Structure 1
Amino acid sequence: MSFTVDLILTDIPENNKDAWSFIEQLREEYYEDKSGAHSKLQEFNEDLTKKYPCLCSFADDDPEMENSPWADGPMMENFASKMGMVAIVWSRADEVFPFVLDSALALDIIVADGQSEKIYRPGM
C-alpha cells in the first residue's frame, strides 16, 4: 500500500467538492496523456530525487533500494502535461510528504491528498 498524491498544474474549482470531481476528470485525461512531463514537474522531480533518489537509480540487487521512500519508478513516468502523481511507501509518508508538499507548492503546483481529502494550493 502506498500514500499517493496528485500534482496539478491547471486551475481547479475553489470549492473542494467540485475540485475533487474535476480532479477525477483530470485523472482520466492523465492516463491518456502521452505529451510528456510539464517543465514544472520535471523540476519537481529533480528536487525530489536529489534528496531521495528514484528507484530507477538503483541496481536491482542494491540493498539501498529497500530504503527508498518511493513506491514506484521511474518517477518521470508518473508526470504528464497537466498532472502528475507521486507514490510514497506508506511507512515513510510522515517523513517524506512534507518535503513533497513544500517542493510542489514552491513551484506553484497544487497537491491533492486523497487519503485526507485535503487540497493544498500555492499561497494558501
Structure 2
Amino acid sequence: MSYDLAVWEGERPDGDAAARVVFTDLHGEFMGGRGVEPTARIRTFVEALVARWPDLSPDDEDEDASPWSDGPLIRNASGPLFYFGMVFSRYQEAASYAVDVARSSGLICFDPQDGRLLT
C-alpha cells in the first residue's frame, strides 16, 4: 500500500476543488507515458528528495532504506508535474519533508487521496 502526492509548478489554485481540477488536467496531459522531460524546478525538487533518502533501483532489495514506493523517483516526473508514491509505513515523515521542500521551492503540493492542497 502506498501514499501518493502530486507536486507541480504553476499558480496556486483557489482551494481544494480547483486544485483537483488542475491536478486532473496536468495528470491527463503529462502522465500518459509521453515521456516529457521534467522542468528544472521539478528536477531540483526530486533531487532534494533523493538527497534526503536514497533512490530505489528496480532490483533494490532493502525496502527499508527509502520511503519511496518505486524508483528511480525521477521517472514519476513529467513536464511541470511530479506524481509519486511513498510506502505507507514511512509516508508521514517523507510527506512532511516533501511538503516543506515544495513550499520553500514555490511549488504546489496536493494530496490526491484527500483531495486537498498541502502548500
Q: With the length of structure 1 as denominator, give the TM-score of the two structures.
A: 0.83
**Alignment coverage as a number of residue pairs:** 118
Which residue is equivalent to 2:13? 13
Give the aligned residue type for 1:15: G
Distance in 2 of aligned mates of 1:15 and 1:103: 20
Deviation at 1:6, TM superposition (A): 0.6
2:4 is the counterpart of 1:4: yes
- How is 1:46-85 mapped onto 2 (pairs within 5 angstroms)? 46-56=47-57, 60=59, 63-85=61-83
Which residue is equivalent to 2:97? 99
Would the alpha carbon gap of residues 103 and 15 (structure 1) be closer, same or farther in structure 2, given more than 3 Å must change?
closer
Identical pairs, percent:
25
Which residue is equivalent to 1:45? 46
Deviation at 1:115, TM superposition (A): 2.3
Structure 1 residues without counterparts, runs of 5 or longer? none
Give the aligned residue type for 1:4: D
Q: Give CA deviations for 1:47-84 in whole Å, capped at 9, x if unaligned.
A: 1111101002x8x3x65343321001111111111211
Q: Which contiguous aligned blocks of 4+ residues in structure 1 show a shift greater than 4 angstroms?
A: none
Distance in 2 of aligned mates of 1:118 and 1:19: 7
Indicate the structure (1 or 2) with the bigger Cα radius of gyration. 1
- Give SS of 1:41's match: helix
Which residue is equivalent to 1:118? 116
Would the alpha carbon gap of residues 65 and 90 (structure 1) be closer, same or farther in structure 2, given more than 3 Å must change?
closer
Distance in 2 of aligned mates of 1:43 and 1:22: 22
Distance in 1 of aligned mates of 2:12 and 2:47: 25
RMSD: 1.9
